[in-house]
Amino acid sequence: MKLLVLDLDGTLWDHKDASRLVPPLKVVGNKVIDAYGEELSLFPGVREFLEWAKDRFLLSVASWNLEEFVRPILEALKLWDYFIFPKIEGHPDKANMIERTISELKAAGYKVDEVIYVDDRIIHVNGVVSAIPNLKFIHMWTDVKSFEELRKLLDRMG
């Protein structure tokens, strides 16, 4: 199977630091509003993309955030269940997160043939590529401009 690892902040949603949102959270469509009125919105097409991708990839997350703050956002938006062994941690070592996800998948009996990592920032790419040499990186909003374009690119990649 192919593993598709997604970043969250700036990739799935427009907020740059979802760990800052303060409960209680209110969901209005594809938007979460925190106790102080701060908003986080899914980018257009995220739900449709995840629904398409779930039958084609093992989906996971590598996010420099705090799970105790961000998991409730994913759950409120009903996105948490799309992901297997998600890593939402308070450090920037995406390579470590992805390596551990691969190890957990293999321990659970999955065969990971290929890893594709999607992030809006390139700051983590060198570390990830050196740790996982056959990894393919897609720079969200540069290589593709929408989730529809991401789906088409992934289709072309086979």
| Residue ranges of domains in the chain, CATH in brackets | 2-12+43-157 (3.40.50.1000)
pTM (predicted TM-score): 0.97
Q: pLDDT, tens digit, for every residue of 54-91?
A: 999 999 999 999 999 999 999 999 999 999 999 999 99
User: Backbone phi, then psi, for 61, in 5-degree steps?
Assistant: -130, 140
pLDDT score, position 97? 98
pLDDT score, position 124? 87
Show the DSSP H helices in the chain as ranges. Answer: 46-53, 67-76, 94-107, 125-131, 147-157
Given a cut of 50, the residues of the chain with pLDDT beneath it are: none
Q: Which helix (H) or strand (E) holds 137?
A: strand 136-139
User: Backbone phi, then psi, for 48, in 5-degree steps?
Assistant: -65, -40
Quote the tokens at residue 7.
Answer: 């970043």
pLDDT score, position 158? 85
